[in-house]
Structure 1
Amino acid sequence: MEKPLDILKKYWGYTEFRPPQEAIINTVLKGENSLVLLPTSGGKSICYQIPALAMSGVCIVISPLIALIQDQVNSLKEKNIKAIALTSQLSEDDIIIAFDNLQFGGIKFLYLSPEKLQSKFIQEKIKQLNVSLIAIDEAHCISEWGHDFRPSYLQLNILHELQPNATFIALTATATQKVLDDIQLNLVLENARIFKKSFQRKNLSYHILKSEDIYAKLVQLLKRAKNSVIVYTNNRKQTKEVSLFLNRQHFKTSFYHGGLSNSEKNEAYLNWMNDETPIMVATNAFGMGIDKPNVRVVIHINTPNSLENFIQEAGRAGRDGEKSHSVLLTNDGILHETTTKFEANIPTIKFIKKVYFNLNQFFSISLGEMPLASFEFSLQKFCSVYQLNLLQTYNAIKILERENIVLLDENYSKKSTLKFAISNQQLFNYLDNNNSKTELIQLILRSYGGVFEHYTIINEYVLSKKLKVSQNEVIKSLKELHDLGILTYYHANTTSTLHFLVIREDAYTINRISKNIEQQNNLKFEKLNAVINFIQNKKTCRTIQLLFYFNEKSTIPCGTCDVCLSKNTKNTSLKIITEDIFDVLKNQELTSFEIATILNHPEKAILNSLKILLEQDKITITSQNKFKQISS
């Protein structure tokens, strides 16, 4: 058996483990079940990947998110480690080939979602494998008290029947004691060793900053920031708006959300990783598998939905151990809007019944029927037909998915195809008289073979990059060529597919899960209230508050959060602050905003000092609303 440290050096290039990684790995290698709670950046994946590589047989990894699965598989493949993911894009023949490769082709890791595991066909295939280790990632999803409960996780104990001799390891980054107890109970982890690492990050300071102009405050913070930054928003539209705003302010930014195509996501991600655009504006879809060491600041410009989400997102700063900051920008208006929107968009049981009924009507499904086929699904079109609120409807469908009523696959993508409708000679005759399309057509001919004989899958994004034009321009040109009869072009937007998992019974279907829905809605309210209480509590150290939420007791203030610093401000002499202000105003005129950007003092103290200097007639305000020194 290869030694764990040798495997770490060979594939990851590290020379030592971070506590408690080595202890966890040794426990797994002894065949003991483990429950691992490591905060974000704790290196959870290594805890099962290294023992799996040291052991004979396959490691099965259960993960709830397709994007996270793909990230993990790609990361392993880059290290020349054989891994495969079972996604909805694989046909039954593809799955048979995948299991043959797992059995005979040396593939070490099998990644799949808990929903995939419910397939009897896949269960039978898993029975035939030599499985040494089963890793349950995001294990908090198994608890009804977790922030991301998924009923499909409750079915995972079938793995004990399919592979009774396998060792189990369950991993999560965020869990209260109640959730940890649920994980042990529902996964039947008897005599499991529990590994917990404190949520305290001594190099990460938390700041709640109140500002009536969030964008102006964001600009102020970014001017001070060094290295990489992540700015988190709560909706997709805002990521683009904020990114464009910051680019106009001469920052270099990208934006990222779940609605982008894979190529757009990859481009944004790579530009950020390579520091071409050191600021990433994103929803919480960005972050899974992200391990960039030099993120110095994570900024939230909206209210997070839970402290679990907040601490995970904030924890993406300072992974190299250097001093870093988590900043949450807020004001009374934002907090009021957060609560109002939350109440408006959380689906009631009555609304969920309506959405479920309309889904069945939309696809012409009869009472008592359960279609085996999947359906292409556009949420926008569906909401337009039935005059439904988009976000509330999406939330309702996600609840139906959570309760195994439907399955919404948002990673499905049809491919665009084209085929020339005229002969080779006719095409060249056309090009002689139409120069505007020459470059595009020549690129298609160079890039794709057989375009005169059969329909060929194309990638508009790749074509646009090679032509150095926008993707929309390429699509427009192809549609024009289609309309002229030069080629036949089928443009496929990235869309979703919807699968119905139960027989249609309308209200009876929802009545059976109504208690679960009410409980989860109440839990979401509790978690949002915990965030608001955290924001509004200006007396207790931020780190102490967060540790208390996750069942850790600490009475030692961090000394670096906004609460601790506000208490220390009293010890900062007003004389020092006024001298600093007077110094920066030498030979220049500045606004209070510009002064606060330059000086590393609390904004409130700076404004108070400016007032004192004005009263002492040492500075004055110009007609442009700037401060300047008064000549002595």
Structure 2
Amino acid sequence: AQSFPELKEIRRVYQALGSFYQLAVGSHPASSFDFDLVDFARTFQLEPAKTLSALKMLEQAGWIALTDAVYLPASFRIKVSKETLYDYQIRNPKMDGVIKSLLRTHHGAFKHSIHIKEAQLGRLLNQNAGAIRKALELMRQDGIIDYAPAKDEPQLTFIQPRVDTADLLIDQALYNFRKERYAYRIAQVKGYLASDACRTVFMAAYFGEEGLADCGVCDNCLDRKKQGSPDELQSLRQTILQHLKDAAMPMSSRQLLQHFNGRQRDLALEALAELFGEELVEERQGVLYLRP
């Protein structure tokens, strides 16, 4: 149920996204937003696992895009003319060193956005990266540059303009198809875990390949080897009965099992237990007897 929330839950999450980023209906932000699932869910009292599933549904429906945490380097572009920038340097002497270093080390910033390493620029100016970021942000606020700080958090992008919650549509047929496929996969996994068939044969059948022989090395195959086949157990039963019949003197279980080695001894013990259960053999005073 958590993997496929109902439409009302999906709409609730979508509404919360609009409120979280303060987006009016009809707005379409050009840039992505940092997204912290835990903070978002806590803010709107949502269940994180169900919220993530709802976000996946919104993504599959083409409303949003959600990326995992990736490193996006900082970038900047000079928005004003050279003359305006020079005037800004004169009026803001504290920015002069930052601007000169930007121009000297990042060519083409008047034409397009350029990646920048704040820490590297800071080393050139004997300043820390925080001071450089602060200076760049001030220049952005003054309208001199476009500046996007480095990011290493998941990013959420609105693919389409925000719509009223009632107008949020999800392809129901596709939703149902994915839900059924998910239920089928879960059932197959449960079947895989519960089955005592060869794991390799089971997986091959899942992918449409029939007629394979048992692998002989998976846990189920090894268990069957340990337990013995019905024919092997039947043969051991007959062997045990013959030993007891031919013995010159009655023997104990330990003496009987000395006739078998290794794995066969374990299987002989299993076969003997069956003979006890079927009342074909009994034990009296520590000695085995065939029942008449």
Task: Please list, as runs of the form range in 1=range in 2, the aligned pairs for 1:226-625 lying within 5 A after superposition.
Answer: 343-413=1-71, 449-453=123-127, 455=129, 494-538=152-196, 540-571=197-228, 576=261
Would the alpha carbon gap of residues 531 and 383 (structure 1) be closer, same or farther in structure 2, given more than 3 Å must change?
A: same
Runs of 4+ in 1 over 6 A off after TM superposition: none
Paired amino acid for 2:25: L
* Structure 1 unaligned blocks of 5 or more: 1-342, 417-444, 459-490, 581-600, 609-632
Would the alpha carbon gap of residues 560 and 373 (structure 1) be closer, same or farther in structure 2, given more than 3 Å must change?
A: same
In 1: Cα distance, 2:33 partner to 2:216 partner: 55
In 1: Cα distance, 2:261 partner to 2:2 partner: 49
In 1: Cα distance, 2:24 partner to 2:60 partner: 23
Aligned residues: 181
Cα RMSD (Å): 3.9
Paired amino acid for 1:452: N
Deviations 1:238-279 (CA, angstroms, capped at 9, x unpaired): xxxxxxxxxxxxxxxxxxxxxxxxxxxxxxxxxxxxxxxxxx
In 2: Cα distance, 1:493 partner to 1:355 partner: 24
Deviations 1:346-398 (CA, angstroms, capped at 9, x unpaired): 42222111111111111111122222222122111111100111122112212
Deviations 1:78-129 (CA, angstroms, capped at 9, x unpaired): xxxxxxxxxxxxxxxxxxxxxxxxxxxxxxxxxxxxxxxxxxxxxxxxxxxx
> Which of the pair is proportionally richer in strand?
1
The CA deviation at 1:548 is 0.8
In 2: Cα distance, 1:522 partner to 1:407 partner: 24
In 2: Cα distance, 1:407 partner to 1:395 partner: 13
Partner of 1:5: none
Paired amino acid for 2:172: S
Paired amino acid for 1:450: L
Ranked by relative contact order (alpha carbons within 8 Å, sequence separation 6 or more), the top structure is 2
Q: Secondary structure at the match of 2:34?
A: strand
The structure with more radius of gyration: 2
Q: Secondary structure at the match of 1:495?
A: coil
Partner of 1:57: none
What TM-score, normalized to structure 2? 0.52
Matched-pair contact (CA < 8 Å) for 1:410–1:495: yes
> Which of the pair is proportionally richer in helix?
2
Would the alpha carbon gap of residues 579 and 557 (structure 1) be closer, same or farther in structure 2, given more than 3 Å must change?
A: closer
Q: Secondary structure at the match of 1:511?
A: coil
Would the alpha carbon gap of residues 412 and 541 (structure 1) be closer, same or farther in structure 2, given more than 3 Å must change?
A: closer
Matched-pair contact (CA < 8 Å) for 1:353–1:510: yes
* Structure 2 unaligned blocks of 5 or more: 75-118, 133-148, 237-256, 274-292
Deviations 1:146-187 (CA, angstroms, capped at 9, x unpaired): xxxxxxxxxxxxxxxxxxxxxxxxxxxxxxxxxxxxxxxxxx
Q: Secondary structure at the match of 2:13?
A: helix
The CA deviation at 1:502 is 1.2
The CA deviation at 1:564 is 1.8
Paired amino acid for 2:123: G
In 2: Cα distance, 1:529 partner to 1:579 partner: 37
Paired amino acid for 1:567: R
Matched-pair contact (CA < 8 Å) for 2:70–2:151: no
The CA deviation at 1:413 is 3.3
In 2: Cα distance, 1:560 partner to 1:450 partner: 63
Matched-pair contact (CA < 8 Å) for 1:450–1:456: no
